[in-house]
Amino acid sequence: MRAWRRRLVAALWMSSVAGLAGAPLAFAAETGPSAPAVLAQADRIRLAEAFRMSAQLGDRIWPGWTAAPFAVLLVTPDAEFLVRHPKPTPDFTRIGHDDLLDSDIYRRPRQFPTNLQATFPAVADLPTVVIGTAENTASKTSTPWVVTVMHEHFHQLQTSQPGYFAGVDKLDLKRGDTTGMWMLNFAFPYAAPGALEHVRQLAQALGAPSTTRAQYAQLRAAFNAGLQPDEARYFGFQLWQEGLARYTEIRIADWAAASYAPSPAFAALPDYQPFAARAQALHARVNEQLAAAKLADDKRVLFYAIGAAEGLLLDRTAPGWQARYFAQPFDTLPYFATP
């Protein structure tokens, strides 16, 4: 992978943890005789449930999702375990084949923080879900953790699309930055009075069940008109990239609550919650963020809620809009226009 792509993807997927993990991220490599040689049983069950859910529900939400890579690097306190990765690097040691996970398992000493929840080319330039165990991440328990893995797996679908990296580069959002960190640090006018008012209007419209697609499109166009061109492109990209990943979490939880039977092993975990409870929590979180609309405080994290709510509005007003997602990428506004 070209160096600029590697920097870009690292920045994109490190952005997945923004606003999610309460503890600071501290990168360190650790070794020691106490490092576990195998995956813990609870971790095996959780990973297997994510793979099982993807196989059963993935293509029902995003056509072609199951064709995307699903490599996972599980970060435990002492070691990292690589699962379903086609090209492990030499720093990993194969510890055997796991029939439950349908994968060879590879291990190395820990390098990443245990509270990480992100997707980036961590191993051999392949976008990989890098995630701590449920107990050590913001998820805390098994059901939210599995849904978060699916959020990260959606990022793998995004980056595996032909022309993705070149298309992101053409957005021209770097403003001279060569590190790829423009994703986090882009100087969007979060505190500008005009932006604050327009975001409140967008949030109110998204929270109103009577809002039409045309009405919302007018509000989005008015908001864009008050921004610099690259600011509008950044806003649209954030909604497309992270907002619809949050939407995907909601859809996964909703579908699982309605039509998915968890495996007996997963349902028997002591911290298991029904997927209906997770769906309810995700909907409530988005509604709370929209009601508060604290753009100056939440900054780009608020875009996650706006994009998620846009996806739900499109579900109601433009069924089948997902077919346009990769055909017209990097901004959600075109999906509100009549096809």
The model's pLDDT over 130-143, given as tens digits with 9 standing for 90+, comes to: 999 999 999 999 99
Report residue 232: phi and psi, to 5°.
-65, -40
Token pair of 157 as six digits:
């679908």
pLDDT at 35: 52
Is the pLDDT score of 291 beyond 50?
A: yes
DSSP 86-148: SS--TT-EEEEEETTTTEEEEEEEB-S-TT-EEEEEEETTEEEEEEE-GGGSTT-SHHHHHHH
Average pLDDT, the chain: 91
Give me the helix-helix angle, 213-225 and 193-207, nearest 10°: 170
Average pLDDT for 44-73 = 97
Which residues have C-beta within 8 Å of that of residue 212, sequence separation ≥ 6?
317
Greater confidence, 72 or 178? 72
pLDDT at 37: 73
> In this predicted model, what pLDDT tens digit does every residue of 185-219 receive, in sequence order?
999 999 999 999 999 999 999 999 999 999 999 99
What's the pTM? Answer: 0.90
Which single residue is written with the structure tokens 């959780």? 46
Q: Residue 12 and residue 3: Cα distance in Å, rounded? A: 14
Which single residue is written with the structure tokens 């993935």? 58
3-class secondary-structure state, position 83: strand
What percent of the chain is predicted at pLDDT more than 90? 84
pLDDT at 178: 79
Token pair of 325 as six digits:
């997602």
Spacing of C-alpha 331 from chain mean position: 16
Q: Residue 116 and residue 47: Cα distance in Å, rounded? A: 16
Counting beta carbons within 10 angstroms of the beta carbon of residue 134, is it exposed (0 to 12), middle (13 to 18) or buried (19 or more)? buried
Helix spans in 186-274 (H): 193-207, 213-225, 229-238, 244-259, 264-267
Is the pLDDT score of 337 beyond 80?
A: yes
Q: Residue 332 and residue 244: Cα distance in Å, rounded? A: 9
Is the pLDDT score of 324 beyond 50?
A: yes
3-class secondary-structure state, position 37: coil
Q: Residue 209 and residue 97: Cα distance in Å, rounded? A: 50
Closest CA to 239 of 165, 308, 317: 308
Is the pLDDT score of 286 beyond 60?
A: yes
* Extents of the domains making up the chain: 3-164, 187-336
8 Å CB contact between 112 and 26: no
Q: Residue 105 and residue 38: Cα distance in Å, rounded? A: 9
Spacing of C-alpha 298 from chain mean position: 17
Which residues have C-beta within 8 Å of that of residue 73, sequence separation ≥ 6?
80, 81, 82, 83, 85, 112, 122, 123, 128, 129, 130, 131
Q: Residue 171 and residue 245: Cα distance in Å, rounded? A: 19
Residue 157 banded pLDDT, cuts 50, 70, 90 = very high
8 Å CB contact between 10 and 120: yes
8 Å CB contact between 145 and 37: no
Q: Residue 311 and residue 254: Cα distance in Å, rounded? A: 13
Residue 24 banded pLDDT, cuts 50, 70, 90 = very low
Average pLDDT for 281-298 = 96
